[in-house]
Amino acid sequence: MKTALFDLDGTLIDSRADLALAVNLTRQDFGLPPKSVGDVVACVGEGVRVLIERAIPERPELWEAMLARQRVHYLAHMLDRTCLYPGVRETLRALRAAGWRLAVVTNKPGPVTRPILERLGVLEYFGAVVGGGDCPALKPDPAPLLLAAAQLGVTLDAQDWMVGDHVTDLEAGRRAGIRRCFCRFGFGEARGETHELAIDRMDAFLAVLKPSA
């Protein structure tokens, strides 16, 4: 039975606008001007603490307070404009119907990850959800992937997949000894990490269901 582990932001969901809004509301709280959505999104991928440090570099002595404010703002706005990418629901449904075990492994904090998946109507497809804080390490460490596999009751092998849009996903998959699918439609970067498959829509991943995959 094959296993696929999915990143969240930039892979399953387009959350750019809401992430940028939460950061800019935090910047506003501390008297700082807003940043463009693109500038904020460039800081995403390695956990919320790194997001704050990169997106609000002006006042490092206030990062802890800013982190607390960002969490409040994001909870209030995390589903204002966030949506599933095209083909996501259909892909998850097809993989589950084919007997695959699925999990989400994200650096986004667990307490917001599960409600987002539930309210977007896809939580039911996943046998495990590992978010930031659920494991001592974040991607690119493979530990969160191994935790998700343990929760699924499987052992990862070279037939399994990590699906994501960022270098952290690709490196974590490589270190876990599984195949990597790079989502070019997301907002991350491969940064030289290799991958076995690259897709421009999530449903293109269903090519792995073919015997030749």
Answer yes or no: do 105 and 199 share one domain: yes
Q: Which residue has the tokens 């490092």?
A: 60
Question: What is the enclosing helix (H) or strand (E) of 20?
Answer: helix 16-29
80 backbone φψ class: left, alpha, beta (φ>0; ψ -120 to 50): alpha
Burial (CB < 10 A; 0-12, 13-18, 19+), residue 34, is middle
Answer yes or no: do 119 and 188 share one domain: yes
What is the residue-wise DSSP string for 91-137? Answer: HHHHHHHTT-EEEEEEEEEHHHHHHHHHHTT-GGG-SEEEEETSSSS
Structural domain boundaries, residue 138: 3-14+83-209
Answer yes or no: do 56 and 160 share one domain: no
Q: Are 43 and 37 in contact (CB under 8 A)?
A: no
- Cα separation, 18 vs 91, in Å, equals 24
**Domain holding 54: CATH number?**
1.10.150
Ranking 41-45, 57-61, 125-129, 153-157 by mean pLDDT, the lowest is: 41-45
Answer yes or no: do 175 and 134 share one domain: yes
Condensed to tens digits (0 to 9), the pLDDT of residues 67-83 reads 999 999 999 999 999 99
As beta bridge partners, residue 90 has none
Rounded mean pLDDT of 138-157? 98
Confidence of residue 211 (pLDDT cuts 50, 70, 90): low
> What pLDDT was estimated at residue 46?
86
Condensed to tens digits (0 to 9), the pLDDT of residues 180-199 reads 999 999 999 999 999 999 99
Rg of the chain over all Cα atoms, to the nearest angstrom = 17
Instruction: Say how many domains are in the chain.
Output: 2
Answer yes or no: do 45 and 150 share one domain: no
Answer yes or no: do 55 and 90 share one domain: no
Average pLDDT, rounded, for the chain: 95
Answer yes or no: do 96 and 109 share one domain: yes
Q: Which residues are catalytic?
A: 7
Across 82-116, b (16+ Cβ under 10 Å) vs e yields: bebbebbbebbeebbeeebbbbbbbbbbbebbeeb
**pTM, entire model:** 0.95
CB atoms within 10 A of CB 60: 11
**Domain holding 133: CATH number?**
3.40.50.1000
